[in-house]
Chain A
Amino acid sequence: MQQRRELDQVYTNRKLLNGQLDTPKWWLPTVSILGVVVLIGVIVIATMINKGLGLTGLARPVYWGLFITTFVFWVGISHAGIMISAILRLTQAEWRRPVTRAAELLTVFSLLTALVFPLIHAGRPWRIAYWIMPYDVARGIYPNIRSPLIMDPVAISTYLTGSTLFLYIALIPDLGNLRDRTTGWKNAMYTVLALGWRGNPRQWKMQTVGGILLSALMLPIFVSVHSIVSWDFAIASAVEGWHSTIFAPYFVIGAVHSGVSAVVTMMALMRWLWKWDDFIRPEHFDALARLLIVVATGWLAFTFLELTFALYGQDAPEIALREMQMFQWPWNALFIVFFLTGYAIPVPMWCFKRVRTNIALMFWTSILVNVGMWLERFLIIVPGLARRTPFVYTWEAYTPSPVEWTIFIWSFAWVTFLMLLFSKFFPLVPLFEQKESQVFTDDVMIGRAKVPAIVREAD
């Protein structure tokens, strides 16, 4: 059992609701700066839609570039939520408790961001309805369900719906708590959102059952979403670097790697910004880092397998592509950075408990992982297309344009912005989960005897 402070409920409430009931000093300036970045990004996106994709650096034969890389990156980040809240909930890992909401939130917001990229990168975004939305039955033209691009919106919207419901169900008890502590319009808002939460046993039972059911329902999505995203590439039979049968599990495990790392980054930020040292403790970082060692090593195995499968066929174009990806400028530099940041630096560091329990080190290593994971997607997508085909007509390179970089930066500002806005109105650490874990480890008096009321082992 971990050593922890006894936290009474009043202290827990006051500390964890400090984002909603008061405003931290840094909140408004940070949100304003992010708001400006978001606004610039929106203007750039609007300009690009207005003027055309000529503003990007895309050119034959690299028809997909930074946007699709960033799309895959954010879908990958979104796997954090389902990993942490659904799987750890079903396996009853107690240490998940303070992390669940942040992870779910990251899922919802990163999916919302990821969705933007395939839409703005289409040549005629105003016709998107025709692709994703209600089918044009009148003319007998249905979307082509053989295309992974039809399965993408289906998978992502299912995931988004499931995650949003999951987030909301877990939020209801805390909304009741906030309703009782606010006045005016905020009170009215929380009253509506809390759906008449009184905290009676029947409601608790329904809330718990709802959470467990949703966790179980979301498990298939855990496998499906990134598998489908990987098929965007894997089914292109003529692109050597893409056409691989291993892509689905490879992408899923890579997504968990980057998603859990993003949760670590976010937890460290939460701990520093809201001073939640009592709630987000080094033991949580320790547990996540142990999980990450396993996931990252599994992912590394898949990386090598992918390479092995590619080279095993001894196919000349495939070998040429791998040579370009690893040994030719500028891809070789990116490849080295990718390998160092994605695995070689963080994972050996996590093998030491002193690193795992050091919040600053965990923060920086988790950022490194995501640099590496972004580069991984970039190195699959862009060199795959920029390979030298037998036709010299298409030997061209791709350089992302400033417009693409701006929209790339916008996506990070946008997720952080949404997160901070959310923190103003809803608690980022679930209060009831926190209290429940206290109860599970509390000592209670039965008659004269003091009995440890351990419902579940709290480690």
Chain B
Amino acid sequence: MTTAEFGTHNWGMVVDVDKCIGCNACVIACQAENNIPINTQDRVERARSISWIRVERYWEGDFPDAKARFIPIMCQHCANAPCEPVCPVYATYHNAEGLNVQVYNRCVGTRYCANGCPYIVRFFNYWEPVWPESLRNHLNPDVTVRSRGIMEKCSFCVHRIRRESRSARSAGTEIADGAIQTACSSACPTSALNFGNFNDPNSKVSKMKEDKRHFTLLDQFGTDPNVIYLAKIDADKKVGAGEAATHG
């Protein structure tokens, strides 16, 4: 479970798999928000596409009772992240707000972090990113365009967190629960993705993660993720907490 040893904020996400309809709106929203280069056919075929969040399809049950399920997977912002200790230059580290941050300027591109990540949510820039001329002016000015040779991954839209924290600080108020939404969570039509502060016991995500359906992905690695999943409710049979975690 997430630890509360951070300061006032411990950002995290609760993903209700039961609500996910696999529409991929989160993927597109993230792509647009975070200046991710367009995944052309060539890049997808060569397994070099970049998508900070992806919707995985998996099968549950054996044929003929197999059911297709969807699960959105992004950087889990593990409190005990396997990617962090292996980086020789501290390009990835854990900050005081529970985020696993990637510092592009420090990264030399050893790709060691990507080998360490069991969720395979870290992406390498094999080439300099390019956009079609028509999209040049659509880049988000708040987000760095990553050059070639470095790693990138979901940042929990850290620029949105910073923007809200700044305005809250200048107004002298606390950040209201739900004031910060990541691109994916604001695009999700079914509210499957919920972003918030785990350190606030009254926040929406803190209450949601107490649901008995909660589980974390690949918990055998002891990574202690900040992304909590709520299992799919099967209309035909009773699914207990964590059962979906063993999907293969």
Contact = CB atoms under 8 A, between A and B. Distances in A.
B22 interface: no
B110 interface: yes
A131 B89 contact: yes
Contact of A60 (B48, B85, B86, B118): B48
Counting contact residues on chain B (CB < 8 A from A), the size range is 35 or more
Interface residues of A, number: 43
Contact of A149 (B57, B110, B123): B110
A143 B82 contact: no
Interface stretch (B125-133, B208-216, B227-235): B125-133
A237 B82 contact: yes
21 contacts: A52-B127, A54-B48, A54-B148, A58-B124, A59-B47, A60-B47, A60-B114, A122-B108, A123-B107, A123-B110, A131-B88, A141-B89, A144-B89, A149-B112, A235-B85, A236-B115, A238-B218, A238-B223, A239-B115, A239-B116, A393-B120
B196 interface: no
A54 B47 CA distance: 11
Interface stretch (A192-200, A261-269, A371-379, A383-391): A383-391
Interface in A390-411: 390-394, 396
A141 B116 contact: no
Nearest to A385: B115
Interface in B188-230: 218, 221, 223
A53 B149 contact: yes
B46 A146 contact: no
A396 B47 contact: yes
Nearest to B148: A52
A61 interface: yes
B106 A130 contact: yes
A385 B221 CA distance: 16
A232 to B, nearest CB: 8
A239 B117 CA distance: 8
Interface string B78-106: 00001001111110000000000000001
B73 interface: yes
B248 interface: yes
A90 B85 CA distance: 39
A64 B124 CA distance: 12
A239 B111 CA distance: 14
B120 to A, nearest CB: 5
A124 B106 CA distance: 10
B119 interface: yes
A30 interface: no
B12 interface: no
Interface of B: 46-48, 54, 56-58, 73, 82, 85-90, 106-112, 114-120, 123-128, 148-151, 218, 221, 223, 247-248
Contacts of B149: 52-53, 122-124
Contacts of B125: 123
Given A124-B108, A127-B108, A144-B87, A389 B115 contact: no
A328 interface: no
Nearest to B103: A141
A157 B47 CA distance: 35
A71 B32 CA distance: 39
B127 A54 contact: yes
A339 to B, nearest CB: 26
Interface in A361-375: none
Contacts of A393: 54, 56, 73, 120
Nearest to A123: B109
Q: Which of B87, B89, B111, B123: most chain A CB closer than 10 A?
A: B89
- Most chain B CB atoms below 10 A, which of A54, A58, A128, A142: A54
A404 to B, nearest CB: 13
B89 A130 contact: yes
B202 to A, nearest CB: 34
Given A60-B123, A142-B90, 16 more contacts: A52-B128, A59-B46, A59-B48, A60-B120, A123-B110, A127-B108, A130-B108, A146-B86, A147-B85, A236-B82, A236-B86, A237-B82, A238-B118, A390-B248, A393-B73, A394-B120
A150 interface: yes
A52 B48 CA distance: 13
A391 B119 CA distance: 8
B179 to A, nearest CB: 32
B124 to A, nearest CB: 6
Contacts of B115: 61, 63-64, 236, 239, 242, 385
Most chain B Cβ neighbours within 10 Å, of A58, A142, A144, A394: A144
A58 B151 CA distance: 14
A144 B90 contact: yes
Query: Which of B57, B107, B247 has the most C-beta atoms of chain A within 10 angstroms of its own C-beta?
Result: B107
A149 B90 contact: no
A392 to B, nearest CB: 7
B82 to A, nearest CB: 5
A340 to B, nearest CB: 29
Nearest to B109: A123
Nearest to A127: B108
A210 interface: no
A394 B223 CA distance: 20
Contacts of A162: none
Most chain B beta-carbon neighbours within 10 Å: one of A146, A232, A391, A394: A391
A282 interface: no
A144 B111 contact: no
Contact of B56 (A141, A146, A147, A391): A391
Given A63-B124, A236-B86, A237-B221, A390 B116 contact: no
A140 to B, nearest CB: 10
A64 B149 CA distance: 14
